């Protein structure tokens, strides 16, 4: 297993320890000073929140220049070393050539429909003249409320305006279907990245949360314009409190514009289950669902604070594909959680429309309530980190998207301008997450079967994989833990088909090289919504990875002094192969 060299702003030159299930632990000092990584004009990492019109629109250097440097750092893992570094050489994702939109990828067997046309209704009879969006100056604060706590007036108004949008001419940019198609175009690869043959994809990376924040922002502004109320705010599906876990009634009235018939009707009166998967029937009993949901979300927040990419997703730069050949491009914990309500709401029958499939997900109005809560999770996460910048990296801050705004203009926006929700003119009625009460657990019963390392070859996940993994260092001091986070890597995940994917990861103490009957302590999941994409339609399997913070979990189970731990990978849905399992100490950021 190749070692990675991971750098951060806080630790420019540091010793990084890594270990794998198939090799012994070793260490080395990073031989490279960050300032020596820069082979082009040094760019100032401005971390302030600015208007898009104030940021530079200068073109970035050709991408191969950056890759030449990264290859010199030790292959792909060297590439990830530059994440979060203000001097990192790269190129931010830019808007695509808008005239080059094509039919999106859509599921095989989707009725008799011709290839899905998700392209926005741009008028190319004259130049679009895309301009940086001018954010309103001192807008009234819009307060996003839980959907289950809306007043009757608020419910009626929301239903009415969605009905109005559905009644607009089909080619109007504010038509509800046109708004839904935006997600299809940017998530089902109707565009290539500018100047490349690489599909543009806003999932599976650090673009996921900012792009969706802007998607909701402009819908909210458009609705406010339609009803002539600048204080209108989208509601959020508040499924991190027990009272809000069911599908809110505003979405469940069959006569309402917010209703969608393509849902799993068996879930209409049940609490959302974040342990849900299509193929496994042994779901938690109803009495345990609420507690397990809260514990899952608590794990999301507490295990990712020190390393933002664990929550946000890994870097993606111009020319990178989140789908193939770069197995370390990973979704963050938040996106993996986000996928479960999509699958739980969507039609249980393949192709799982609407919510359960990327191309059609936004056709269900609950999509926006769901994503408003995911946007809230990002706000909570930022608050827990003292609103510190997640990535001091211009390739993130200057990544640029294009949307129709509330004045029917095509505008561009940058990630750097959406980091603080108050600067965007909205806030959440509740931006806190309450730590759940952990229920007592029965002591595990040991099983006499031996457990060994993962082995040198990829393994199909057709049954639970149990592997011994050596830790880089046991019994670290508080100072060492503050400087480096302990991260579990599930390597080289090969996704073999477009069907929904889920597997869960557990860690456990070892008892004389035997494992326990139970799976151990839940550490996180890998999930994918059903998705037919460009890569899979053209032959290769999709590559992915998973990274999970485990230090606090090992402390909670009394394994802090263990030299080795058990890692259990439990299949739930779909077909994947796992390339390996290892642990690294990754430079942490102060918060």
Which residue did the predictor score with more confidence, 138 or 21?
Answer: 138
pLDDT of 540 reads 57
Cα dihedral across residues 238, 527, 204, 201: positive or negative? negative
pLDDT of residue 328: 59
Q: How far apart are CA 570 and CA 526, in angstroms?
A: 10
- Classify residue 274 by burial, with Cβ atoms within 10 Å: 0-12, 13-18, 19+: buried
* Statement: residue 321 has pLDDT above 90: no
Quickly count: other Cβ atoms within 10 Å of residue 303's Cβ. 24
User: What is the structure's pLDDT at 206?
Assistant: 96
Cα–Cα distance for residue pair 4/426, rounded to 1 Å? 40
The string of pLDDT tens digits covering residues 356-395 is: 998 899 999 999 999 999 999 999 999 999 999 999 999 9
Residues 467-511 have pLDDT tens digits of: 999 999 999 999 999 999 999 999 999 987 778 999 999 999 886
Q: Is 298 helix (H, G, I), strand (E, B) or coil?
A: helix
Q: 321 forms bridges with which residues in the sheet?
A: none
**Quick one: pLDDT band at residue 163, thresholds 50, 70, 90?**
very high
Cα→Cα distances 35→25, 41, 87, 307, 356, Å: 29, 11, 7, 22, 45
pTM: 0.85
Q: Does 130 have pLDDT greater than 70?
A: yes
Q: Per-residue pLDDT averaged across 226-242, rounded? A: 97
Does residue 554 have a pLDDT over 80? yes
In the predicted structure, residue 78 carries a pLDDT above the cut 80: no
**Which 3 state secondary structure label does DSSP give 461?**
coil
Q: How confident is the model at residue 320 (pLDDT cuts 50, 70, 90)?
A: confident
Range name among 40-49, 162-171, 333-342, 501-510 with the lowest pLDDT average: 40-49
At residue 99, the pLDDT reads 93
Cα-to-chain-centroid distance, residue 538: 25
Question: Looking at residue 306, what is its pLDDT?
Answer: 97
Determine the pLDDT at residue 566.
92
End-to-end CA distance of the chain: 31
pLDDT score, position 101: 92
Q: If pLDDT is split at 50, 70 and 90, which confidence band does 14 have?
A: very low
Mean pLDDT of the chain: 81
The predicted structure's pLDDT at residue 542:
80
CB-based contacts of 125, cutoff 8 Å, min separation 6: none
Q: What is the pLDDT of residues 456-467, one digit of tens each?
A: 999 999 999 999
- What span, in angstroms and rounded, lies between the C-alpha atoms of 231 and 455? 58
Q: What angle do CA 465, 507, 279 make, to 5 degrees?
A: 50
Selection from 21, 13, 5 nearest residue 565 by Cα: 21
- Which pLDDT tens digit goes with each residue over 43-60? 223 333 333 333 333 333
Residue 29 has pLDDT above 90, yes or no: no
Backbone angles phi, psi at 552, to 5 degrees: -65, -30
The secondary structure of 240-284 as a DSSP string is: TSGGG-SPPGGGT-TTSTT--SSB-GGGTTS---TT--SS---PP
- What distance in Å separates the CA atoms of residue 277 and residue 504, rounded to the nearest whole number? 10
Q: Are 431 and 301 in contact (CB under 8 A)?
A: no
Supply angle C-alpha 355, 433, 483, rounded to 5.
105
Phi then psi for residue 42, to 5 deg, are: -65, 130
CA distance 213 to 211: 5
Pair 32, 5: CB distance under 8 Å = yes
pLDDT beyond 50 at 69 = no
pLDDT tens digits, 274-296: 999 988 766 677 778 999 999 99
Q: Give me the phi and psi of 127, to 5 degrees please.
A: -55, 140
Residue 35 or 581, more confident: 581
Residue 263 Cα distances to 343, 420, 483, angstroms: 9, 33, 46
Residue-wise pLDDT for 83-100, tens only, equals 333 334 469 999 999 999
* Cα gap 288→292, rounded to integer Å: 6
Higher pLDDT, 540 or 523: 523
Q: Given CA atoms 490, 333, 298, 387 in this order, what sign does their dihedral have?
A: positive
Percent of residues, the chain, with pLDDT higher than 90: 63
Is residue 339 within 8 Å of residue 529, measured between CB atoms? yes
Q: Compute the distance between CA of residue 190 and CA of residue 172 in angstroms, rounded to an integer.
A: 19
- Mapping DSSP to helix (H, G, I), strand (E, B) and coil, where does residue 366 land? helix
> With bands split at pLDDT 50, 70 and 90, how would you rate the model's confidence at 24?
very low
Q: Give the pLDDT band of residue 217 (cuts 50, 70, 90).
A: very high
pLDDT exceeds cutoff 90 at 174:
yes
- Single out the residue of 344, 404, 484, 382 nearest to residue 130, CA to CA: 404
Cβ-proximal residues to 112 (8 Å cutoff; 6+ apart), any chain: none
Check pLDDT > 60 for residue 104.
yes
What pLDDT, on a 0 to 100 scale, did the predictor assign at position 115? 63
User: Using an 8 Å Cβ cutoff, are 354 and 360 in contact?
Assistant: yes
**Residue 92 burial (CB count, 10 A):** 19
CA–CA gap between residue 77 and residue 399 (Å, rounded)? 22
Q: Give mean pLDDT, residues 232-241.
A: 97
- Of 64, 68, 61, 11, nearest to 37 by C-alpha is 68
For residue 33, what pLDDT is reported?
A: 25
pLDDT in the model for residue 533: 55
pLDDT, residue 107, reads: 58
DSSP per position, 76-115 = HHHHHTTTT-TT----------GGG--PPP--TT-TT--S
């Amino acid at each position: 297993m190749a070692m990675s060299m991971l750098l951060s702003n806080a630790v420019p030159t540091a010793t990084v320890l890594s270990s794998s299930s198939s090799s012994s632990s070793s260490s080395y000092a990073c031989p490279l000073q960050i300032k020596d990584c820069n082979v082009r004009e040094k760019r100032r990492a401005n971390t302030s929140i600015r208007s898009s019109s104030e940021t530079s629109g200068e073109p970035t250097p050709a991408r191969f220049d950056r890759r030449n440097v990264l290859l010199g750092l030790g292959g792909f893992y060297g590439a990830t070393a530059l994440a979060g570094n203000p001097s990192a050489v790269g190129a931010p994702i830019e808007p695509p050539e808008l005239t080059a939109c094509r039919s999106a990828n859509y599921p095989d067997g989707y009725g008799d429909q011709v290839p899905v046309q998700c392209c926005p209704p741009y008028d190319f009879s004259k130049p679009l003249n895309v301009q940086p969006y001018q954010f309103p100056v001192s807008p009234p604060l819009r307060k996003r409320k839980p959907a289950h706590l809306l007043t009757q007036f608020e419910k009626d108004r929301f239903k009415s305006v969605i009905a109005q949008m559905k009644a607009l001419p089909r080619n109007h940019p504010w038509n509800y279907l046109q708004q839904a198609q935006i997600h299809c175009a940017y998530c089902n690869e109707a565009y290539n990245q500018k100047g490349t043959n690489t599909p543009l994809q806003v999932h599976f990376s650090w673009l996921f949360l900012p792009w969706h924040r802007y998607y909701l922002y402009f819908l909210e502004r458009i609705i406010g314009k339609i009803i002539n109320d600048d204080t209108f705010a989208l509601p959020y599906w508040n499924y991190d409190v027990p009272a809000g876990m069911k599908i809110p009634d505003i979405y469940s009235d069959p006569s309402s514009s917010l209703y969608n018939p393509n849902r799993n009707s068996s879930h209409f009166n049940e609490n959302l289950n974040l342990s849900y998967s299509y193929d496994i029937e042994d779901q938690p009993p109803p009495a345990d669902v609420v507690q397990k949901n809260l514990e899952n979300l608590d794990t999301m927040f507490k295990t990712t604070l020190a390393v933002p990419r664990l929550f946000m997703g890994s870097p993606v730069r111009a020319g990178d594909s989140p789908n193939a050949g770069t197995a370390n491009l990973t979704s963050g914990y938040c996106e993996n959680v986000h996928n479960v309500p999509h699958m739980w709401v969507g039609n249980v029958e393949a192709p799982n429309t609407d919510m359960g499939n990327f191309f059609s997900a936004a056709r269900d109005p609950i999509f926006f309530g769901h994503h408003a809560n995911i946007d809230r999770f990002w706000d909570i996460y930022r608050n827990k980190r003292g609103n510190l910048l997640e990535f001091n990296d211009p390739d993130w801050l200057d990544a640029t998207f294009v949307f129709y705004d509330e004045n029917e203009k095509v505008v561009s926006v940058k990630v750097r301008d959406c980091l603080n929700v108050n600067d965007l003119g909205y806030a959440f009625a509740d931006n806190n997450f309450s730590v759940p009460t952990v229920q007592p657990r029965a002591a595990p019963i040991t099983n006499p079967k031996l457990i060994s390392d993962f082995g040198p070859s990829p393994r199909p996940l057709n049954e639970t994989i149990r592997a011994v993994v050596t830790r880089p260092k046991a019994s670290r001091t508080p100072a060492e833990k503050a400087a480096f986070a302990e991260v579990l890597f599930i390597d080289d995940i090969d996704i073999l088909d477009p069907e929904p994917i889920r597997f869960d990861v557990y860690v456990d103490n070892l008892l004389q090289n035997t494992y326990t009957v139970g799976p151990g302590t839940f550490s996180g999941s890998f999930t994918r919504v059903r998705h037919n994409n460009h890569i899979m339609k053209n032959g290769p399997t999709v590559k992915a990875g998973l990274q999970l913070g485990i230090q606090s979990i090992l402390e909670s189970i009394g394994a802090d002094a263990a030299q080795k731990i058990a890692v259990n990978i439990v299949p739930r849905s779909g077909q994947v192969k796992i390339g390996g399992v290892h642990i690294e100490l990754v430079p942490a950021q102060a918060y």
